[in-house]
C-alpha cells in the first residue's frame, strides 16, 4: 500500500490492512506471531512502522470516501502531491465517475482504464494522457514535476555521453548483459525505456552527503540489469510479500555462519516474496545496495563492491530494513545506498542502519559484552558463537566503532562472497543474451 486510496478495490484492501494492523498492535499476544525472535530494538522499530502505516492508511481511506461522497477531493489532492498520473485519478473521483464511466466516455474498455490507473498512468502516452486530462478538466502546468514518460526517448537520454555508453557497453559485454553485437543505439534505447518504466532514482544516499543521481546513466544501466534479472527470477519467487511476517529474519542472520550462506539467503528471501540480485556495479558507480519495487514486488540489488563477509550481511540487512520499514513510504521510488560513509542525515537511512545493526547484533547484548573492548580475537569469536553469527560481523562492527580499519583486517572474510555468485552465474550462463527490455 502506498498511503493513497483511489478506487474501491484499494479501499477494501486498505480497510483489511488497517484491521490486521490494529489487531497486531492491540496486545503483545497478537504481536507475537509477527515479531517472534526479533531483538527488542527491532520490535520497537516495527511497532512504530505499523502504527505509522495504520495512520497513513486511515487518512487515505477517509480522504477517498470524502472525495467520493462529496466530490470535494481537497484531502485527497493533498496526498497526491501534484503527481500527474495520480491527479487524473483524483479528477475522475471528483467528477463522480467510476472507472467504467470514464472508459465509456473515452470509448475504451473498462480494463484499459483499470490498467492505466493500476500503473498510475506511468505507461500512458502523452497523447492519451492529454485526452484523459481534457475530458476530466486537468491541465499539465509548469510547476508539475517532470515526468520522464512525457519526454520521449530522445529527450530522456539527452546528455548521455559517448564515453559513458562505451563504458557501460564494455562492462555489459564482460558480464554477460548482452551479446557482443549489441550496439550503442540499442543500449541508449534500453536505458531510456527503463527510465520511462521506473522513473529516475530520486537520490543516491551517501552518508554525510545526499547526492542527486537522477541523471546518473551508470545507475540507470545497473538498475536496468538488476530489473531484467529480477523479472527472470520471479518464476521461482513467492507471488506475495507479507511485511507483517518477520519471525523468519533471525534464521536469515544465522545463515551468515554458512560458507554458502549468501546463496542460501537468495532462497530464503525468495520464499518470502523478495528477490535478491547480486550484480557488479559499472566501474565508477559507487553503490553497495539498493531496494526498490519491480512489478509490485520488492527487489534487493547488491554489488558486493566491498567483498567481505561483514559488508555483505550488513548491506543485505540494511536493504531488508528498507523493504520492511519503508515498503509504503519510499520503496516505490527506491533506495540506492553507499554504506561505507561515517554517518547519515537521512532519517530513513538511519532507521535502516539501526535495524541492520540490531538484527545482526542486538544492542542489549552488545552493551553487556566484553567483546566491545576486547583485544583478543578469541573473545570476539566466542561472542559471535553465542549469537550464532559469523565472527566477521562482530569484527567488522568493532573496526567501525573504533575507527581502526587496520584492526582485525584478516578476520572480516575478504574475497569470499563475490566468487560464490560468480560461480553460480557461470553455471547458468548461456550464450550472452541480449538484455530484455522493460515490460509494460
Q: How many CB atoms lie within 10 A of CB 405?
A: 10
Q: How many CB atoms lie within 10 A of CB 396?
A: 23
With a cut of 50, say whether residue 247 has pLDDT above it. yes
Question: Is pLDDT larger for residue 45 or for residue 126?
Answer: 45
Which pLDDT belongs to residue 274? 97
Which residue, among 354, 353, 361, 365, has the nearest Cα to 254 in the 3D structure?
Answer: 361
pTM score = 0.83
For residues 41 and 358, is the Cβ–Cβ distance under 8 A? yes
The 10s digit of each residue's pLDDT in 358-384 is 999 999 999 999 999 998 999 999 999
Please give the Cα distance from 1 to 243 (Å, whole number).
Answer: 11
Cα separation of the two ends of the chain: 20
Summarize the confidence of residues 303-331 as an average pLDDT: 93
Among 72-86, 190-204, 256-270, the least confident range: 190-204
Q: Would residue 71 be called left, alpha or beta, if left means φ above 0 and alpha means ψ between -120 and 50 degrees?
A: left
Which pLDDT belongs to residue 433? 43
Among 370-374, 423-427, 431-435, the least confident range: 431-435
Give me the residue label for grid cell 473498462.
110
Please give the Cα distance from 305 to 314 (Å, whole number).
Answer: 13
pLDDT bracket for residue 94 (50, 70, 90): confident
pLDDT bracket for residue 67 (50, 70, 90): confident
Please give the Cα distance from 6 to 120 (Å, whole number).
Answer: 10
Please give the Cα distance from 218 to 211 (Å, whole number).
Answer: 15
Q: How many CB atoms lie within 10 A of CB 432?
A: 17
Helical residues (DSSP H) of 179-248, grouped into ranges? 184-198, 217-233
Which pLDDT belongs to residue 425? 56
pLDDT bracket for residue 202 (50, 70, 90): very low
3-state helix, strand, coil in the chain (%, to 5): 55, 5, 35
Tell me phi and psi for residue 216, to 5 degrees.
-75, 105
Summarize the confidence of residues 77-104 as an average pLDDT: 84
Which pLDDT belongs to residue 139? 73
Instruction: Tell whether the torsion through CA atoms of 214, 220, 224 and 227 is positive or negative.
Output: negative
Query: Residues for the chain: how many in total?
Result: 440
Amino acid at each position: 500500500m502506498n498511503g493513497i486510496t483511489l478506487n474501491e478495490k484499494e479501499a477494501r484492501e486498505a480497510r483489511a490492512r488497517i484491521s490486521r494492523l490494529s489487531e497486531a498492535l492491540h496486545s503483545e499476544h497478537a504481536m507475537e506471531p509477527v515479531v517472534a525472535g526479533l531483538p527488542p530494538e527491532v520490535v520497537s522499530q516495527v511497532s512504530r512502522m505499523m502504527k505509522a502505516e495504520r495512520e497513513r492508511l486511515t487518512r487515505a481511506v477517509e480522504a477517498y470516501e470524502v472525495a467520493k461522497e462529496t466530490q470535494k477531493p481537497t484531502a485527497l489532492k493533498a496526498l497526491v502531491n501534484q503527481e500527474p498520473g495520480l491527479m487524473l485519478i483524483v479528477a475522475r473521483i471528483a467528477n463522480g465517475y467510476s472507472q467504467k464511466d470514464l472508459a465509456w466516455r473515452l470509448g475504451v474498455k473498462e480494463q484499459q482504464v483499470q490498467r492505466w490507473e493500476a500503473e498510475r498512468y506511468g505507461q500512458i502516452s502523452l497523447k492519451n494522457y492529454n485526452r484523459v486530462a481534457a475530458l476530466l478538466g486537468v491541465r499539465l502546468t509548469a510547476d508539475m514535476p517532470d515526468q520522464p514518460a512525457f519526454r520521449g526517448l530522445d529527450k530522456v537520454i539527452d546528455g548521455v555521453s559517448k564515453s559513458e555508453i562505451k563504458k557501460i557497453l564494455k562492462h555489459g559485454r564482460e558480464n554477460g548483459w548482452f551479446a557482443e553485437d549489441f550496439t550503442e543505439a540499442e543500449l541508449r534505447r534500453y536505458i531510456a525505456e527503463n527510465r520511462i518504466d521506473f522513473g529516475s532514482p530520486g537520490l543516491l544516499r551517501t552518508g554525510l552527503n545526499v547526492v542527486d543521481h537522477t541523471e546518473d546513466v551508470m545507475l540507470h544501466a545497473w538498475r536496468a540489469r538488476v530489473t531484467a534479472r529480477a523479472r527472470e527470477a520471479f518464476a521461482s519467487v513467492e507471488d506475495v510479500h507479507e511485511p507483517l511476517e518477520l519471525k523468519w529474519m533471525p534464521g536469515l542472520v544465522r545463515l551468515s555462519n554458512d560458507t554458502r550462506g549468501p546463496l542460501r539467503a537468495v532462497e530464503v528471501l525468495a520464499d518470502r516474496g523478495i528477490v535478491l540480485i547480486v550484480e557488479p556495479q559499472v566501474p565508477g558507480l559507487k553503490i553497495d545496495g539498493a531496494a526498490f519495487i519491480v512489478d509490485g514486488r520488492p527487489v534487493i540489488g547488491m554489488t558486493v563492491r566491498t567483498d567481505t563477509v561483514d559488508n555483505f550481511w550488513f548491506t543485505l540487512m540494511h536493504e531488508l530494513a528498507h523493504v520492511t520499514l519503508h515498503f509504503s513510504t519510499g520503496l516505490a521510488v527506491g533506495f540506492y545506498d553507499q554504506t561505507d560513509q561515517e554517518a547519515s542525515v537521512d532519517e530513513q537511512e538511519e532507521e535502516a542502519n539501526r535495524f541492520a545493526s540490531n538484527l545482526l547484533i542486538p544492542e542489549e547484548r552488545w552493551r553487556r559484552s566484553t567483546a566491545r573492548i576486547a583485544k583478543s580475537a578469541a573473545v570476539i569469536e566466542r561472542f559471535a558463537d553465542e549469537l550464532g553469527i559469523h565472527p566477521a560481523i562482530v569484527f567488522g562492527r568493532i573496526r567501525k566503532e573504533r575507527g581502526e580499519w587496520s584492526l582485525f583486517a584478516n578476520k572480516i572474510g575478504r574475497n569470499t562472497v563475490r566468487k560464490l555468485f560468480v560461480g553460480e552465474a557461470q553455471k547458468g550462463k548461456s550464450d550472452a543474451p541480449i538484455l530484455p527490455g522493460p515490460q509494460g
